[in-house]
Structure 1
């Protein structure tokens, strides 16, 4: 079964260092909380709001041990009026035996407002 694992976080500054640090923190938390191994990941989609353009968040995932060959794509998030700014969103497509309700979606920093219904 392929399941989606969602995550999001925010950055304070549009710098490559802030983007990579926030992305790596998010990736590591998603991986840890869901016991994810790179070989089980079919692909990863990463989006950023239009105010983030100083670096690719995917670079952080690529630098992690074992993630070199996982297909990753970065894209721009829709610029919806009054939506959360400075936000990085992730969707990992994971081969897993877990049920939908066993997946832990991760929202860090200001991104917690995106899915308060998933707070545990």
Structure 2
């Protein structure tokens, strides 16, 4: 069964190093908490808020061993007044036997405010 696994993280500055390192941290936590291998990933969508322009967050995925052939795309998050700034969001589509309630969606830094109802589920 293909399941969507969500994740989000914020950064303090629009700097290439910070964007890539934060995205890599988020990806690694999503992989760890959900026991993901690259071969089971159908695709990854990564969005960033309009204030993050220094680098494509997808660059982080390419730094992970074994992820060379995983389809990934970046896009800009919708512009909504009052929404969270400097935020990177990930939607990963994974072939897994886990049920919906067994999936760990990962929210780090200020992104924890996006889904406080799921924070207690993070291991």
Partner of 2:19: 19
User: Shift in Å at residue 100 of structure 1?
Assistant: 0.3
Extract structure 1 runs of 4+ deviating beyond 6 A. Answer: none
Residues 26-56 of structure 1 show CA distances to partners (whole Å, capped at 9, x for unaligned) of 0000000000000000000000000001001
- Residue in 2 that maps onto 1:52: 52
Question: Take 2:102 and 2:33, find their aligned partners in 1: how far apart are those partners?
Answer: 10
Number of equivalenced pairs: 120
Q: Is there any run of 5+ residues in structure 1 with no aligned partner, and where?
A: none
Once the two structures are TM-superposed, the CA of residue 63 in structure 1 deviates from its matched residue by: 1.0
Which runs of 5 or more structure 2 residues have no equivalent in the other structure?
A: none
Q: TM-score, normalised by structure 1?
A: 0.99
- What is the CA distance between 1:25 and its match in structure 2? 0.5
Deviation of 1:4 after TM superposition, in Å, equals 0.3
